[in-house]
Structure 1
């Protein structure tokens, strides 16, 4: 079994060097205060040429847990949602920095001085303070990305690791971008999207970088969506492989003031999978979503992004 689609494994692999280390459903994040957007006359038109300070709305999921010396994960924080449609990614044009907000959490700002590596696929950032390490990885939109060319949507992952006994881990996967306006959403026909999927799972059997295969279709006339996730993982300590199953999800599209969004759910073999996301770009050209998976062993979060075929 080969694990594919794990672009952000660097975040999870950081656990491997540490030598140590409840249920959850969808949530709309009551009380969330989004990062303010730029004035209407100073909005970015694509993610490939960011010129203005702006807060991009999106979807995110979060898992907080402890890792023992054997690599087993436990003590999950049941107050954080594995799937939420309330996240804001703020880009500061002057500082060229990014800040992630998911109520009630806000990350530090990550700027050029925190950059540790960059390629056509990813840009990685890191901050350290005492026993705490924080990382941010962003999938690079643009024609040079060999995995998937995106213009209006993207995704990323934030992870904080606090050394101790046990080790504390906080992981957020999110999708974001320039949402399709309700007035620009197709009202007839359907579309399929070329997608990639990425994530992390933590449970009694260990912590895994997740990837796999995925598909996504939207029926605009019926205002419905369908997604399939075939998830596979690689243990970040032992490199052992795990099949997380094939999960079919169905859901509905709705319009909000910030754009056209959707929610879906499904699962198989005792696992429940939640998904929340949005359409991005003119005419729903792209899609971005968070997904959360909960099973008897633990829980995971990830992101799916795609471009209309």
Structure 2
């Protein structure tokens, strides 16, 4: 990208003037001397050498030339993304030339796989000369690239953060966020691909992207791009990424586990914990069909777990939806005299209420020898791998509610439906619970006003601001969700009661 800017980027307090801007793909030769650790760059209209051991991530050259690497890019072995950055003084301003390039040890044409799917965790950085801002705008982001090696179809998407290049006191630096999307095609005979890239957030930019795969068999990817907004603004940048087998790995369902597996989740056990806790867990052994429930602390020895297996099933209280258990506390432990009643939601296609593949929950009531009973809930399952967590787009989920209501004058069993709408691009969610409360003494059912929640998605989990609705995504590509909820509600008939329970669901 080339552009002229009135004044200089970084110091313009009011709208500057970009002129004579352009951006296009041009050939660049990168030579590297491993002995001196020096680069020589040769373009059609200029050349430069950057020698010596680099200080940090930047090679400084003569005549205000810089060849630098941005730390937003991943640490790669075979490919590197850098920018050759030149500045010159012009009358009344500055002239900038950016050459963004991905280079390295390319995969031989014959060595690039041509069957199956490949997924890459990618990152990019770049800059825009946008007339809406007085200075250059720098941006960086991360996302996911998928490659159909048989057809050559390539797609990628992710999120961007951008920041105005301004460092003078007196007004805030302009920042924001946006997205990127890529659609490209891999050559059927050579290790090259080309396509289009779209950027949003500081305007709407689109343009050409060109890249290759790097490493012995395409372990890494690199590409450079040049875009425009159609009204005189230009943005260029570079992208690199690393292949991650987990992106297309099959996530097993609960019913198909073949080895003892720790099922991470959220437990609310008020006798042990003040609130919902993500560090507690359940272990399932498919060989013995036994759940080990750790309600208090993950550092506890295995002997402290409550165990629920075939020998503890209460057949009369079990059905296609739930399995009931009755057992005692762990033998030889301080709680060995506890009596325990538990209800586990059955995973699999046979559940007539809601067929979940990766998610389940448990309602556990522990009664101590002195007669005091404590009820706890656990939502658990096969968590979504971080590599499969969506970063853009949205999804809607439908499911059920299970829980209890309690006040000074009564107790209720809760049933109902749940919805969750996730915006993965913005990292936000909303949820609504429609609940029917059945009086445990009279069996009278009262429909409560819907409960609504909203909050943030972080990693593979989510929570509202007050931690009254907190959960995780489960399964292949966030196929399901499970959450714990707790809130006080006021009903015109029942008065004020505390409602606590579990919401689970799957994608529509």
TM (norm. structure 2) is 0.44
Of the three residues 252, 256, 268, the one matched with 1:45 is 252
Instruction: Give yes or no for contact 1:44–1:52 (8 Å, CA) kept in 2.
Output: no
- Provide the residue aligned with 2:121 in structure 1: none
Which whole-Å CA distance do the structure 2 matches of 1:121 and 1:157 have between them?
13
Which whole-Å CA distance do the structure 1 matches of 2:438 and 2:273 have between them?
24
CA distance 1:248–1:211, change in 2 (3 Å):
same
Deviation larger for 116-125 or 50-59: 116-125
Which whole-Å CA distance do the structure 2 matches of 1:80 and 1:89 have between them?
16
Residue 329 of structure 2 is aligned to residue 114 of structure 1: no
Which whole-Å CA distance do the structure 2 matches of 1:228 and 1:107 have between them?
34
Which whole-Å CA distance do the structure 2 matches of 1:240 and 1:81 have between them?
31
Post-superposition shift, 1:302?
0.8
Which whole-Å CA distance do the structure 2 matches of 1:84 and 1:276 have between them?
9
Instruction: Give yes or no for contact 1:44–1:51 (8 Å, CA) kept in 2.
Output: no
- Report the 3-state secondary structure (helix = DSSP H, G, I; strand = E; otherwise coil) of the residue aligned with 1:48: helix
- Provide the residue aligned with 1:270 in structure 2: none
Report Cα offsets for 1:95-145 as digits up to 9, x if no partner: 321122232485421111101124221111101579843112111111111
Of the three residues 154, 159, 173, the one matched with 2:360 is 154
CA RMSD of aligned residues (A): 2.7
Which whole-Å CA distance do the structure 1 matches of 2:373 and 2:256 have between them?
33
Instruction: Give yes or no for contact 2:401–2:417 (8 Å, CA) kept in 1.
Output: yes
- Report the 3-state secondary structure (helix = DSSP H, G, I; strand = E; otherwise coil) of the residue aligned with 1:214: strand
Of the three residues 415, 419, 432, the one matched with 1:215 is 419
Residue 233 of structure 2 is aligned to residue 233 of structure 1: no
Instruction: Give yes or no for contact 2:488–2:499 (8 Å, CA) kept in 1.
Output: yes
Q: 5 Å matches for 1:238-253?
A: 238-253=442-457
Residue 266 of structure 2 is aligned to residue 59 of structure 1: yes
Which whole-Å CA distance do the structure 2 matches of 1:243 and 1:57 have between them?
32
- Provide the residue aligned with 1:88 in structure 2: 281
CA distance 1:196–1:265, change in 2 (3 Å):
farther
Which whole-Å CA distance do the structure 2 matches of 1:49 and 1:180 have between them?
16
Which whole-Å CA distance do the structure 2 matches of 1:234 and 1:162 have between them?
26
- Report the 3-state secondary structure (helix = DSSP H, G, I; strand = E; otherwise coil) of the residue aligned with 2:387: helix
Which whole-Å CA distance do the structure 1 matches of 2:465 and 2:417 have between them?
17
Q: Which consecutive residues of structure 1, in runs of 5 or more, have no partner in the other structure? A: 1-39, 65-78, 267-272
- Report the 3-state secondary structure (helix = DSSP H, G, I; strand = E; otherwise coil) of the residue aligned with 1:171: strand
Which whole-Å CA distance do the structure 1 matches of 2:338 and 2:505 have between them?
33
Q: 5 Å matches for 1:1-309?
A: 45-63=252-270, 80-104=273-297, 107-117=305-315, 118-128=318-328, 132-162=338-368, 167-255=371-459, 260-264=460-464, 274-294=468-488, 297=496, 299-309=498-508
CA distance 1:203–1:291, change in 2 (3 Å):
same
Post-superposition shift, 1:203?
2.2
Report Cα offsets for 1:227-250 as digits up to 9, x if no partner: 012223112223233444322100
Post-superposition shift, 1:85?
2.7
Which whole-Å CA distance do the structure 2 matches of 1:59 and 1:156 have between them?
11
- Report the 3-state secondary structure (helix = DSSP H, G, I; strand = E; otherwise coil) of the residue aligned with 1:113: helix
Instruction: Give yes or no for contact 2:418–2:504 (8 Å, CA) kept in 1.
Output: no
- Provide the residue aligned with 2:233 in structure 1: none
- Provide the residue aligned with 2:152 in structure 1: none
CA distance 1:138–1:199, change in 2 (3 Å):
same
- Provide the residue aligned with 2:172 in structure 1: none
Q: Which structure: larger Rg?
A: 2
How many residue pairs align between the two structures? 242
- Report the 3-state secondary structure (helix = DSSP H, G, I; strand = E; otherwise coil) of the residue aligned with 2:449: strand
Q: Which consecutive residues of structure 2, in runs of 5 or more, have no partner in the other structure? A: 1-245, 330-335, 491-495
Post-superposition shift, 1:162?
4.1
Report Cα offsets for 1:139-190 as digits up to 9, x if no partner: 11111111111111111211123476xx522111121111111111111111
